């Protein structure tokens, strides 16, 4: 039995199936498994279905398969016909990528110029195309930031990097700077590749680098007496110290003190910067003193992450002068982020500069996010839902609903081709005005594609509808369960919105499932705790079961963590043990606790959940709210 015929048999289970759906699914499957798309859709069983809104996708899949064989046959015509669409962007990128692999630079620059979102691989092909022309020097100047800023350089970048080194734009110290960054991020094969630009065998085999990574203390304990006589020997010591600092910063600091006189000032400063960064992430009280040691070498440039954690280390102990000093050491682009604008304002206020503090808050106030909310409150304004935009008219709805890109996106969602639907939807919304975005949000909501409704509503600039931006589907289920176990409904919705954007069958890369993104073991544990004797893992994605298990887990972590929503939010994402461990020895302002969470994902998650909860409660109760009150004070660790 042909695979596409199996798909045809499944079609009655699809909601609102229309003629031709089976042909689209068959073509998609043929593309996925490498069969000829054209041959499949020419089959008599499929060919008689008539036109379909997704026929252009079938054409794309067919043309995409031609790359590397017939190359450009039909592609220029398709790009012209589908100008400014997602598929034109994607096929143009695919086409350029294939031509780059073949070093075919004919008309490459003109086609590349029409790409709106080139990735690093295509950027490097475009740079390659210019290296043989009169603009070679300019191309190398533009390529230089890639050496320092992009860890995972694709193969297309290697000829460009070769030219950077050959031209002298990248010096020996620059090579070691890249090697350090790659070692910090466990890119050992890439580090050895970068070391090949140095004379001699500069780094040991990847297996030995893995050994240092897993047992840095053992490596440091058996250092040869001559380790400091060569640059690679010293760099491996720095590598071992930064790996040791990730688990034991105090021990790394003690080891560095013993080896200090055998390292150069710049090497010592680098090592202290690594130890300080890891110490700050582990809330070590010595972190700021280690930062001071790193700062003794004025040539050392700390990374943005190191600078951010210097501020966080000062926040943990409420050292406001040091908070201000650390923010002022940041590059302008980093210091202008809402996080550091707010904390700079707080530091200024604590030091008596009230007018300067208010000027800082005014830069970010009014924005519907964590630090915008906090800035509003520092200026004496509680959090309110902005006036609702005019209701979308039937004419506005009709125009948006008839948009080819959105029609294709809805069809892709309907057929379960979610990946393709997301890209088609998001691309189509580019350049839409507020009225069109609100209509698109209504369109998505009416089709129960809640995450795209939120995505559209969040993009408005002047006219807003927070009832769309903060959708609250499944109200009967959520309200009943939340009230039954005494949970704040605004917080429940705030967490659910962040977990899944209300995609019922959402699955994370880690294995979390459903609206409330429950891990299988957690779901089974909660089911047992609440006496759900008939629970089976296949039920976790069903609406009511997922909400019952998710809300009960929220209740359990609240009970376990002093009934504090900030701690409970952190626990829901990273586990209760970590949430407890991140508390301080003294009571800690909720906003500072959130800002100093070591995991980037969890830190961002907690901030968004708490800000979401404010807006949901404001919508549900039609009253202004206080984020600061919700954050409260996190009690000390026991």
Q: Which residues form the catalytic set?
A: 499
3-state secondary structure at position 134? coil
Other beta carbons less than 10 A from residue 297's beta carbon: 16
Could you tell me the two tokens for 82? 């589908």
CA distances to 400, 543, 551, 620 from 485, in Å? 42, 18, 8, 19
Specify the long-range contacts of residues 570-575, CB closer than 8 Å, at least 24 apart. Answer: 570/594, 570/597, 570/602, 570/605, 570/606, 572/495, 573/601, 573/602, 573/605, 573/606, 574/599, 574/602
**DSSP 8-state assignment for residue 187:** -
Helix 231-247 to helix 249-259 angle (10° resolution) is 150
CA distances to 106, 253, 271 from 238, in Å? 47, 12, 6
3-state secondary structure at position 119? coil
Could you tell me the two tokens for 59? 């054409």
Residue 313 CA to residue 325 CA, distance in Å, equals 12
* Helix H or strand E segment including 634: strand 633-634
Residue 479 · residue 449 · CB < 8 Å: no
CA angle, 199 then 205 then 209, to 5°: 110
| Placement of tokens 């530091």 in the chain | 347
Provide the H-helix boundaries in 365-474.
370-378, 394-401, 404-414, 418-428, 434-446, 450-458, 466-469
Q: Which residues contact 262 (CB under 8 A, 6 or more apart)?
A: 227, 228, 234
Dihedral pair phi/psi, residue 289, rounded to 5°: -70, -35
List the beta bridge partners of residue 588: 634
3-state secondary structure at position 617? helix
């Amino acid at each position: 039995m042909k695979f596409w015929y199996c798909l045809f048999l499944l079609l009655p289970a699809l909601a609102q199936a229309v003629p031709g759906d089976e042909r689209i699914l068959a073509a998609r499957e043929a593309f996925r498994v490498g069969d000829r798309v054209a041959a499949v859709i020419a089959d008599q069983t499929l060919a008689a279905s008539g036109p379909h809104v997704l026929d252009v996708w079938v054409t794309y899949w067919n043309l995409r398969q031609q790359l590397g064989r017939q190359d450009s046959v039909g592609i220029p015509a398709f790009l012209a016909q589908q100008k400014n669409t997602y598929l034109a962007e994607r096929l143009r990128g695919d086409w350029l990528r294939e031509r780059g692999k073949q070093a075919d630079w004919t008309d490459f620059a003109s086609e590349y110029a029409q790409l709106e979102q080139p990735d690093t691989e295509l950027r490097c092909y475009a740079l390659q195309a210019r290296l043989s022309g009169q603009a070679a020097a300019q191309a190398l100047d533009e390529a230089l930031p890639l050496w320092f800023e992009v860890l995972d350089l694709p193969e297309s970048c290697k000829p460009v990097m070769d030219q950077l080194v050959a031209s002298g734009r990248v010096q020996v110290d620059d090579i070691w700077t890249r090697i350090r960054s790659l070692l910090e991020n466990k890119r050992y094969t890439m580090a050895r590749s970068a070391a090949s630009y140095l004379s001699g065998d500069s780094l040991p085999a990847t297996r030995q680098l893995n050994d240092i990574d897993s047992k840095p203390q053992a490596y440091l304990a058996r250092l040869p007496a001559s380790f400091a006589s060569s640059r690679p020997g010293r760099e491996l010591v720095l590598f071992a110290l930064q790996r040791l600092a990730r688990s034991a910063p105090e021990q790394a600091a003690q080891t560095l003190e013993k080896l200090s006189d055998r390292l150069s000032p710049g090497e010592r400063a680098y090592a202290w910067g690594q130890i300080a960064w890891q110490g700050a992430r582990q809330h070590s009280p010595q972190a700021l003193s280690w930062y001071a040691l790193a700062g003794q070498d004025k040539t050392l440039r700390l990374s943005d992450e190191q600078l951010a954690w210097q501020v966080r280390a000062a926040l943990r102990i409420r050292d406001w002068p040091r908070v201000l000093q650390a923010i002022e050491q940041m590059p302008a682009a980093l210091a202008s982020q809402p996080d550091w604008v707010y904390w700079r304002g707080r530091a200024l206020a604590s030091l008596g500069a009230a007018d300067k503090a208010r000027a800082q808050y005014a830069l970010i106030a009014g924005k519907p996010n964590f630090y915008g909310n906090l800035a509003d409150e520092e200026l004496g304004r509680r959090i309110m839902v902005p006036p609702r935009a005019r209701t979308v008219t039937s004419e506005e709805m009709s125009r948006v609903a008839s948009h080819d890109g959105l029609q294709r996106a809805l069809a892709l969602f309907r057929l379960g081709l979610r990946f393709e639907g997301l890209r088609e939807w998001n691309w189509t919304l580019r350049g839409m005005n507020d009225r069109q975005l609100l209509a698109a949000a209504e369109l998505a909501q009416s089709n129960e594609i809640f995450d795209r409704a939120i995505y559209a509503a969040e993009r408005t600039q002047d006219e807003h509808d927070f009832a769309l931006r903060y959708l609250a589907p499944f109200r009967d289920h959520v309200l009943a369960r939340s009230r039954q176990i005494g949970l704040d409904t605004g917080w429940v919705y705030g967490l659910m919105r962040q977990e899944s954007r209300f995609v019922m069958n959402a699955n994370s890369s880690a294995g979390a499932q459903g609206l409330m993104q429950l891990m299988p073991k957690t779901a089974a544990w909660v089911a047992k705790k609440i006496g759900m004797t008939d629970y089976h893992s296949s039920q976790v994605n069903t609406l009511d079961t997922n909400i019952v298990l998710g809300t009960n887990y929220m209740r359990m972590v609240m009970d376990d963590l002093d009934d504090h929503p900030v701690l409970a939010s952190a626990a829901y994402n990273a586990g209760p043990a970590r949430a407890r461990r991140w508390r301080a020895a003294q009571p800690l302002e909720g906003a500072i606790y959130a800002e100093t969470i070591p995991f980037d994902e969890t830190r961002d998650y907690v901030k968004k959940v708490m800000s979401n909860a404010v807006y949901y409660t404001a919508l549900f109760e039609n009253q202004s709210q206080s984020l600061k009150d919700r954050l409260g004070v996190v009690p000390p660790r026991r």
